[in-house]
Amino acid sequence: MKLLLTVPTEVLLDEPIEKLVAESEAGSFCLLPRHLDLATVLVPGLLTATRPGGAELVVAVDHGVLVKVGGDVRVTCQRAFVAHDPDDAARAVRERFHLTGEREKHARAVLARLESDVVRRLADLRRRHGA
């Protein structure tokens, strides 16, 4: 099989694999070359791929989509980190994904303040103009 892993800004992986273990909303699953074609939504977690020769590749992924057609497995997600081992992947999830999550929370809080300010100003304008 061939694994193509992409995020919005780049291709992270494009290489042959013998096996892929991932997790969807329905649970963990394994893909082998002769398995049926599949499309599924991935949940945040780890993808584990076995390269030819037996070396393992671990990838921490955010929400994403996996599509297997014939010998091609395509994974696209918002964020991903190719790790050397599961500990490295877990550390990346904690550090990188948590930091991004904190930034997203901050952005949502700023947006909420802006929205409430607009609503307050509209209410003030209505009171002033008798609407």
The domains of the chain are located at 2-98
Q: Nearest to residue 42, comparing CAs of 54, 31, 58, 27?
A: 27
- The pTM of the full predicted model, rounded to 2 decimals, is 0.69
Residue 16 has a pLDDT of 97
DSSP the chain: -EEEEEETTEEEEEEE-SEEEEEETTEEEEE-TTSPPEEEEEPSEEEEEE-TTS-EEEEEE-SEEEEEETTEEEEEES-EEEESSHHHHHHHIIIIIHHHHHHHHHHHHHHHHHHHHHHHHHHHHHHHHT-
Residue 85 backbone dihedrals phi, psi, to 5 degrees: -160, 170
pLDDT in tens, 6-35: 999 999 999 999 999 999 989 999 999 999
pLDDT tens for the chain, 131 residues long, are 999 999 999 999 999 999 999 999 899 999 999 999 999 999 888 889 999 999 999 898 888 999 999 999 999 998 888 887 767 766 766 666 655 566 677 667 777 777 777 777 777 778 888 76
Q: Are 61 and 44 in contact (CB under 8 A)?
A: yes
Its CATH architecture, for the domain 2-98, is: Sandwich (2.60)
For 45, the token pair is: 């977690």
